[in-house]
């Protein structure tokens, strides 16, 4: 297989500039250039499996493959540890999967305060009826899970998970193109300002809710799926006011957001989350939520520590195509109201096992489809019980 290199060609006079590790040379004529791929004479770096994304799906896939002796490379466009928009709660099923796939729960430094959130302390609040229990996780295949959940820092959790997988991580490396053939897959990546090509027998797209791999496989997915944007702020506070300690409080207020709004504590901050379909101003939603908590719950906020956002595409699962498998949110796997770490871990691990078996012969995709039928069925059950939206997507 040949290696690809980026060259920049002038749109008018066709003079060429190449890209170096340090900088991109302008075309000699100085005019704007267009980008092209050119083959170079060297052999391309090849692995049996490349995983795109080092979140819970990618890390679990890597663990399954690395433990089975497969040469696997994980690439991630972010530098680890990296933040991920998430309430950062390990639900019961996630804990079970961690024990089963990784042999243990995370070490002490991954947890924040309060360390435990009891299922009964997740409350939906209504102005006329007060608070009632809000169910985030339901039994799967008649198996109930622990109702003591863990409050963690996602950046530290994901970093621990990918490290514990034992697989090689190349962070700061972003995928931009995929060429899949019957005998293997080539991908274009960019790392440290340099574009290059990698090759593998199988590619696993575990690159989250805005997956580049899925967009390349299915260009209509991003354009046509109803999409919710979630926005989260970490706020220092002087007083929780009437918000009880250890409680995770959920509100359904269409005047604030199109999805539930919620608040819980992480260390010295109150984490506020709002969300909406495209075109809703989430900065205004967040401001309205803060004002509501100040007015109705007497919360006293101090400064903002940080904020973050991401999108959730509400589309049916897609397992991949040929030698490219999709896991976690890239494949559309997420349970109920955004409980996604367990769906990501479980599909990632099973994708890894399917690929391992297919390396000896047969179709990885068929094995993966059979292995994830129960996960798809559980997603269906979660959808039936969905209680997440204040309003439907705009027509
Ligand atoms: C507001 C909110 C709160 C949530 N709270 C919870 C919760 O408390 N508990 C829970 O279980 N779930 C929660 N979820 C869901 C959960 O965060 C996700 O479902 C889960 O992170 C999905 O894992 P993943 O591995 O599929 O993707 P991610 O965790 O998103 O990982 C994808 C990785 O791919 C990388 N990547 C993306 N594009 C590229 C590219 N082109 N090249 C290379 N790398 C790339 C990204 O940098 C990222 O590291 C929440 C979600 C939201 C939005």
For 137-147, write each residue's pLDDT tens digit.
999 999 999 99
pLDDT tens track for 277-292: 988 999 999 999 999 9
Q: What is the mean pLDDT of residues 301-306?
A: 97
First to last CA, the chain: 47
How confident is the model at residue 278, as a pLDDT?
A: 85
pLDDT at residue 24, as a whole number: 52
pLDDT band at 25 (very low <50, low <70, confident <90, very high): low
Continuous segment of H or E residues that includes residue 334: none
| CA 90/CA 193 separation, integer angstroms | 36
Higher pLDDT, 314 or 34: 314
Q: Please state, for a pLDDT cut of 70, what percent of the chain lies above it.
A: 88
pLDDT at residue 275 greater than cutoff 50 = yes
Confidence of residue 387 (pLDDT cuts 50, 70, 90): confident
Pick among 3.40.50.300, 3.30.450.90, 3.40.1350.10, 3.50.50.60: CATH of 48-224+314-384: 3.50.50.60
**What is the structure's pLDDT at 9?**
56
CA of residue 77 to ligand 1 center, whole Å: 13
Average pLDDT value for residue range 81-87: 97
Look at residue 359 and tell me whether its pLDDT is greater than 70. Answer: yes
For the ranges 31-35, 90-94, 188-192, the lowest mean pLDDT is seen at: 31-35
Q: Residue 3 above 90 pLDDT?
A: no
Does residue 312's CB lie within 6 angstroms of at least one atom of ligand 1?
yes
For residue 36, is pLDDT > 80?
no
Closest among 206, 172, 168, 169 to 330, alpha carbons compared = 206
Pairing of strands 122-126, 248-251: parallel
Q: Is the CB of 208 under 6 A from ligand 1?
A: yes
The per-residue pLDDT of the chain, averaged, comes to 90
Asked if residue 94 has its Cβ within 6 Å of ligand 1, the reply is: yes
More confident of the two residues 9 and 265: 265
What integer is the mean pLDDT of 181-208?
A: 96
Pocket test for ligand 1, best of 138, 261, 338 (most atoms within 8 A of CB): 338
Ligand 1 near 95 CB (within 6 A): no
Q: What pTM value is reported for the model? A: 0.91
> Which comes out higher in pLDDT, residue 63 or 127?
63
Separation of CA 128 and ligand 1 centre (Å): 35
Residue 338 CB less than 6 A away from ligand 1: yes
Q: Is 313's C-beta closer than 6 angstroms to any atom of ligand 1?
A: no
Q: Is the CB of 339 under 6 A from ligand 1?
A: yes
What's the pLDDT score for residue 127? 82
Tell me if 207 CB under 6 Å of ligand 1: yes
Where is average pLDDT lowest: 16-20, 57-61, 243-247, 259-263? 16-20
- Over range 90-98, report the average pLDDT: 98
What is the C-alpha separation between 362 and 355, in angstroms, rounded?
A: 10
What confidence tens digit (pLDDT) does each residue in 319-350 have? 999 999 999 999 999 997 779 999 999 999 99
Q: What is the pLDDT of residue 7?
A: 52
**Is the CB of 178 within 6 Å of ligand 1?**
no
Q: Is the pLDDT of residue 230 over 50?
A: yes
122 alpha-carbon distance from chain centroid:
23
Question: Which residue lies with its CA nearest to atom 17 of ligand 1?
Answer: 86
Residue 365 in contact with ligand 1 by CB distance below 6 A: no
pLDDT at 14: 60
Tell me the average pLDDT across 181-199.
95
Judge whether 217 and 203 are in contact, CB under 8 Å.
no
31 band by pLDDT with thresholds 50, 70 and 90:
low
Cβ partners under 8 Å of residue 51, min gap 6 = 58, 61, 62, 65, 72, 73, 74, 75, 167, 203, 204, 206
Pairing, β 168-171 against β 148-152: unpaired
Contact 72, 49 (CB under 8 A): yes
Q: How far is the CA of 307 from the centre of ligand 1 (A)?
A: 16
Residue 92 near ligand 1, beta carbon < 6 Å = no
| Mutational pocket test of ligand 1: of 207, 250, 382, the residue with most ligand atoms within 8 Å of the beta carbon | 207
**pLDDT of 109 strictly over 60:** yes
Does 331 sit in the ligand 1 pocket, CB within 6 Å?
Answer: no
Closest Cα to atom 29 of ligand 1: 55
pLDDT tier for residue 152 given thresholds of 50, 70 and 90: very high
Least confident range from 126-140, 205-219, 357-371: namely: 126-140
- Regarding the beta carbon of 55 and ligand 1, being less than 6 Å apart is answered yes
Residue 334 Cα to ligand 1 midpoint, Å, equals 10
Q: Could you tell me whether strands 130-133 and 122-126 are parallel, antiparallel, or unpaired per DSSP bridges?
A: antiparallel
Ligand 1 contact, 332 CB (< 6 A): no
Query: What's the confidence (pLDDT) of residue 390?
Result: 82
Helix (H) or strand (E) holding 173: strand 173-181
Mutate which of 79, 80, 87 for ligand 1? The one with the most ligand atoms within 8 Å of its CB, which is 87
Question: Cα separation of 37 and 389, whole Å?
Answer: 44
246: tokens are: 């250890």
**Cβ–ligand 1 contact at 106 (below 6 Å):** no
Going by CA atoms, what residue is nearest to atom 33 of ligand 1? 53
Q: Is the pLDDT of residue 1 over 50?
A: no
Instruction: Check: CB of residue 236 under 8 Å from CB of residue 268.
Output: yes
Long-range contacts of 65-72 (CB under 8 A, 24+ apart): 65/167, 65/352, 65/355, 65/356, 66/165, 66/166, 66/167, 67/166, 68/352, 68/353, 68/356, 70/355, 70/356, 70/359, 71/47, 72/47, 72/48, 72/167, 72/168
pLDDT for 126? 86
Q: Is there a cis peptide before residue 124, judged by omega within 30 degrees of 0? A: no
Query: Is the Cα torsion angle 311, 313, 317, 323 positive or negative in sign?
Result: negative
Among protein residues, the one with the nearest Cα to ligand 1's atom 41 is 175
Residue bearing the CA closest to ligand 1, atom 31: 55
């Amino acid at each position: 297989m040949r290696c690809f290199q980026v060259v920049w060609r002038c749109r008018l006079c066709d003079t060429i500039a190449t890209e170096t590790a340090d900088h991109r040379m302008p075309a000699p004529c100085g005019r704007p250039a267009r980008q092209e791929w050119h083959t170079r004479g060297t052999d391309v770096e090849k692995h049996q499996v490349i995983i795109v994304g080092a979140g819970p799906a990618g890390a679990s896939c890597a663990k399954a493959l690395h433990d089975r002796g497969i040469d696997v490379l994980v690439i991630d466009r972010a530098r680890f540890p990296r933040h991920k928009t998430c309430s950062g709660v390990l639900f019961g099923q996630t804990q079970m999967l961690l024990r089963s796939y990784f042999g243990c729960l995370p070490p002490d430094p991954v947890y924040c305060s309060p360390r435990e959130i009891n299922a009964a302390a997740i409350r939906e609040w209504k102005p006329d009826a007060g608070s009632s229990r809000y169910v985030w996780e339901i039994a799967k295949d008649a198996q109930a899970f622990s109702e003591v959940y863990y409050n963690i820092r996602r950046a530290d959790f994901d970093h621990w998970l990918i490290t514990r997988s034992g697989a090689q991580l190349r962070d700061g490396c972003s995928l931009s193109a995929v060429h899949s053939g019957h005998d293997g897959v080539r991908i274009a990546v960019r790392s440290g300002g340099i574009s290059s090509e990698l090759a593998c027998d199988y590619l696993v797209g575990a690159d989250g809710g805005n997956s580049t791999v899925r967009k390349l496989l299915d260009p209509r997915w991003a354009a046509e799926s109803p999409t919710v944007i979630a926005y989260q702020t970490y706020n220092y506070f002087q007083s929780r006011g009437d918000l009880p300690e250890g409680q995770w409080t959920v509100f359904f207020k269409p005047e604030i957001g199109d999805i539930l709004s919620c608040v819980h504590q992480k260390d010295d901050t109150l984490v506020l989350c709002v969300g909406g379909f495209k075109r809703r101003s989430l900065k205004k939603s967040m401001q309205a939520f803060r004002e509501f908590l100040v007015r109705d719950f007497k919360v006293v906020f101090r400064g903002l520590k940080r904020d973050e956002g991401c999108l959730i595409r509400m589309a049916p699962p897609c397992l991949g195509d040929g030698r490219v498998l999709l896991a976690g949110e890239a494949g559309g796997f997420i349970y109920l109201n955004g409980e996604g770490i367990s769906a990501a871990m479980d599909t990632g691990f099973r994708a890894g096992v399917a690929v391992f078996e297919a390396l000896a012969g047969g179709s990885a995709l068929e094995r993966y489809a059979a292995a994830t039928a129960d996960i798809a069925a559980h997603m269906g059950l979660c959808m039936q019980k969905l209680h997440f939206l204040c309003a439907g997507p705009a027509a």
